[in-house]
A and B are shown apart, each in its own frame.
Chain A
Amino acid sequence: MAQLDAVQEKEWLLLARGGDVEAFAPLVAAHQRVVYRIALRITGNPQEAEDVAQEAFVRAFERLDRFDPARPFAPWLYRIVHNLALNRVRRDRTPAVLGDWLEDERGTGPEAAAIAAETLERLRQAIAGLPENYRRVIVLRHFEGLSYQQMCAALGVPLSDVKSWLFRARRALQKSMG
């Protein structure tokens, strides 16, 4: 899905404010990845993150009449998902990651995007080059969202092994990022 430019986004927002559900769909498509990532960082669980992200979009649509279209849509939306995710996690347990996610999501220009793409490619190759056990724990933790105990059950190994593999794998990946 191509990103929307500011003019296109404003057009869709104005239609969506009138209750047009179909006009809201391009906005969902444009922001879903970031919204999901924010929810995932806070909840630490892909299923919960998906629920929270969906709920964030629904809440945003319901509250569009309170949103000033002259202001950027993304920070307002990200604040909704942030609060929803925190409420969900505080209800159940401690948050996985707390921090200035907005700083992370703030774009810093084409040069930064190019650097990020190069870093991601190095990281992708580093994951592929990990020993199998290290790669499995990285996938189970970061792509599947399993807890330490769930990884123990999935892999059939003690907690100490899971932690050891995970921490070493992360160290190796950090080195690859430079």
Chain B
Amino acid sequence: MANLRESEKASEGGSEAADWRAGESPNSRGSGGAHLSEGDIHAFLDGELAVGEHAAVQEHLATCEQCRRELAALRRLFIALDELAPAPDLVPTVRARLAGLSPALPQRSWRRWLPLALEAAAAVALLAWAVTRPAAFWAGLFGTWPADFGAELSGWWSGTWGSIVAWLASLWADLPSWPADTWSALQAWLGSLPTLDLQLSLPQWALWVGLLVVACLVGNALLLRRAALNGHTQ
């Protein structure tokens, strides 16, 4: 390395002279207390030394406190400069690579949907059980509350569906290309929709709607959490 420093100085000519301490090659260093040159220390930290030179510098550093201090001081600058250097966003590429791995881990992927599926199943089961209870069940449970709301709702159900069917019929009349037998089948299906005997009182309706809303909110909380996960990665 001493030879290299001499040839570099000779080639500088009009350009700025390198301002580093004159130092011997690490390979020729003895126990006389010679230190690393500034160029050696910088090149060592920059990874610009050949393997042999790198090893020689390391060997010197193992025995020279002063050179270790200078190296540490320069290294602190390198670390601070790393802090200022722009860092890439690795999330999209890591996500893409992990997504490519996920087919290899099929036993793990379905579990995250299990809580939401259980919530949905519980909400549907609860509602189905509630609407199939006879009026006497609720009367016994909640007392003599007015039941006309359920009757009104049943009437709305029948009347509204009838209105919908009539509306669709008028729409159908304006669609000349629609096959007639398909429309007849659709009419028959719509007409066969059940009318529910919803003999529940208003407070009972409020209770079951409230439970359904809670079940939906809890289920949606899981979906919102998933959206928050995506938000974290922005």
Instruction: Identify the A interface with B (CB < 8 A).
Output: 1, 15, 18-26, 28-29, 32-33, 35-37, 40-41, 44, 46, 50, 53-54, 57-58, 61-62, 89, 93-97, 99, 104, 116, 119-120, 123-124, 127, 138, 141-143, 147-148, 157-161, 163-168, 170, 173-174, 177
Contact = CB atoms under 8 A, between A and B. Distances in A.
A35 B48 CA distance: 23
Given A28-B94, A32-B91, 10 more contacts: A19-B102, A25-B230, A32-B87, A37-B82, A41-B79, A44-B46, A93-B47, A158-B12, A163-B42, A164-B16
Contacts of A174: 73-74, 77
B174 interface: no
A119 B80 contact: yes
19 contacts: A1-B232, A18-B111, A18-B112, A21-B99, A32-B91, A57-B94, A89-B47, A93-B51, A94-B50, A97-B45, A97-B78, A143-B84, A148-B46, A163-B18, A163-B39, A167-B39, A167-B42, A168-B19, A173-B77
Given A127-B84, A164-B17, A174-B73, A20 B91 contact: no
B108 A36 contact: no
Interface string B58-81: 000000000000000111111111
Size bin of chain B's contact surface: 35 or more
B108 A18 contact: yes
Given A24-B98, A32-B90, A159-B8, A15 B112 contact: yes
A25 B90 CA distance: 9
A138 B109 CA distance: 47
Contacts of B173: none
B76 A40 contact: no
A161 to B, nearest CB: 5
Interface string B87-102: 1111101110111011
A123 B84 contact: yes
Interface in B35-60: 38-39, 42-43, 45-51, 54
A143 B85 contact: yes
Contact of A58 (B15, B43, B94, B234): B94
A73 B45 CA distance: 29
Contacts of A157: 15
A138 B81 contact: yes
A50 B18 contact: no
Contacts of B98: 21, 24, 58, 61
B233 interface: yes
Nearest to A20: B112
Contact of B95 (A21, A143, A160, A167): A21
Nearest to B57: A94
Given A58-B101, A163-B42, A94 B80 contact: no
